[in-house]
Structure 1
Amino acid sequence: MENHTKFRLSQFVRIGVLFLLFPLFHLVRCDGLGAVCTKVNSCECEFTDGSGVISLKTIASTNGPRFPYTKSSTPTDHYFYAYNPCNSFSDTYCQDVAACQRSEDGKEFFDVGDQESATFDDLGTTLTYASGGETPRSTIVSLICEISATTPVLEVIGEESQGSGKYKFNLRSNCACKNGCLGGGISAGSVLCILFSVGVILYLVIGILFLKFVRGSEGKEVIPNFEFWKDFPLLVKDGVLFLASGCKSDSNNYEQI
């Protein structure tokens, strides 16, 4: 009966450790794996795991296009393109657009995307705009994260293929990085990481000082709960195996303990 009680207690300890650690592991993920960047507005998306935001606000112009008319780098595309994230712009050629296409002589021009239609892909690496005209046209902006690119650079690729009505830009900027242009903002996961680290340090420092100078402990005995932390990796391992088995125990386990 005593062995049975010890076994049950050890299993509860292992499960408890897992339940304490699981929320922490879930919240402090820094790589954003599995997270989706959902649209907040026409130039911002936020990752569903709370790890950060992609924001182009600081590079947007409020007076005309941030990126003025530039000729396409595609030899078969002879048009020029202007683009502005976040805010619509109007000029001689287009009205209330995110991107505009015009011919070299200015006799032809087309709306190739408006702000209201802006959509992000799940990874926050592509921003797509659609035009409101009768002929379907769209602009696809690849957001290329470059921490050193504090001055954004727009590469105008031009029409994806002749007659496709799809136009491609590459935007290189630190603002294309997660939290790249938020003035050093800290995500919820980062805050939890900091709090957890500070808590562990305080726990160890205060515990060691108390055990050494109040209780007079020496050697490994000055480490708070030394026996628990020595067995901690095994507790986690056994807890995982126990949960994986559907919380069922083998009667042989009682004999092993």
Structure 2
Amino acid sequence: MAFLYIYGFLFTFVSCALAVKDTCVKTSSCVCLFPNGTGIDLSPAVSTSFYSAQIYDVKMNGSQYEMITYYYHPCYDVKINVTDQQAQSTCTDPLSICRHVDTMKLANATAKTFVMDNGTYDFMGKTNNSKFSDEGDSIIYSNGPSDTIVLLQCAQTENQLQVYSIMEPNKIVLAFYSRDACLKLLEEGGRSFGSTLLIIFFSFLIFYLVLGICTKKFLMGATGIEVIPNLGFWSELPNLVKDGWLFMSNGFKLPPRASGQTVSPDPNSYDSI
């Protein structure tokens, strides 16, 4: 009985393997490529300056305002020009993403006057610590425990950067709109891994059926539906798949038997197998 469970499990495993999803593999800091030759190439979007996007954030019931500017340079790292030499900065080395925060604090509630600090420049990511998502629709820049995500938005407009979400402080999300963020054919693609598995699987299946039918028909004299090799197995295949899935879900153990009088041998024992 156990070998039937194993047959069903193997068939389920092969079915899952055939559904392998193609991923966009990073080939350079600008390019990721799918097995079929399509992919994303941001090289044409490279500029001599940073792309920027600004948002305003109100804090402490209106007694503090922050003007936040994100700077983004795709493909390779460059050094950002810090205009205020008094500002605190961790963006001193070449990088891809930097955040500049200017803070205005309420100085006099009656006169409603504010004072602005010197601002801060915060490092947000470098190219050599980046990776494309499996779908190729974003680039993730690692920064210690934090990540900065740049969504690649296909748009037939001038290249522009926008702030998508700052709800999670450890996962800032920006959106880069560009025609270079569109999926396009980059090179003649080879056969995907899933396609290769399918070809191998169906080639073996056809060979097995042809050889089995010829053997049963000409050597064993079978006729009609009986020429199908291992007919009993194929008739039971749906149940085998079900049993294989249950066998795997149960931690590769036989399902528990109902309580009652024990028969000889025990159905759960090795002898029953």
TM-score normalised by structure 2 residue count? 0.50
For residues 147-186 of structure 1, what are the structure 2 equivalents within 5 Å? 154-158=159-163, 168-170=174-176, 172-174=181-183, 183-186=188-191
Aligned to 2:210: 205
1:193 aligns with 2:191: no
Select 1:114's aligned residue among 126, 133, 137.
Answer: 126
1:59 aligns with 2:44: no
Question: Compared with structure 1, are the counterparts of its residues 129 and 242 closer, same or farther at alpha carbon in structure 2 (3 Å cutoff)?
Answer: closer
1:129 aligns with 2:158: no
Question: Compared with structure 1, are the counterparts of its residues 21 and 80 closer, same or farther at alpha carbon in structure 2 (3 Å cutoff)?
Answer: closer
CA distance in 2, matches of 1:185, 1:44: 17
Offset of 1:17 from its aligned partner?
A: 0.7
Offset of 1:24 from its aligned partner?
A: 1.8
For residues 42-121 of structure 1, what are the structure 2 equivalents within 5 Å? 59-61=41-43, 65=46, 72=53, 83-85=73-75, 87-88=76-77, 96-99=94-97, 113-118=125-130
Report the AA paired with residue 176 of structure 2: N
| Bigger-Rg structure (1/2) | 2
8 Å CA contact 1:64, 1:91 repeated in 2: no
Offset of 1:25 from its aligned partner?
A: 3.6
Give the percent of matched residue pairs that are identical in Structure 1 and Structure 2.
25
Aligned to 1:28: 18
CA distance in 2, matches of 1:238, 1:167: 45
Q: Provide the alpha-carbon RMSD of the alignment.
A: 5.6
Select 1:141's aligned residue among 150, 153, 156.
Answer: 150
1:223 aligns with 2:228: yes
8 Å CA contact 1:118, 1:130 repeated in 2: yes
Offset of 1:220 from its aligned partner?
A: 0.4
Aligned to 1:4: none
Question: Compared with structure 1, are the counterparts of its residues 69 and 227 closer, same or farther at alpha carbon in structure 2 (3 Å cutoff)?
Answer: same
Q: Report Cα offsets for 1:83-140 as digits up to 9, x if no partner.
A: 323x3357999974335799xxxxxxx8764213425668765424378xxxxxx863
- The number of aligned residues is 214
Offset of 1:65 from its aligned partner?
A: 1.8
Q: Larger helix proportion, structure 1 or 2?
A: 1
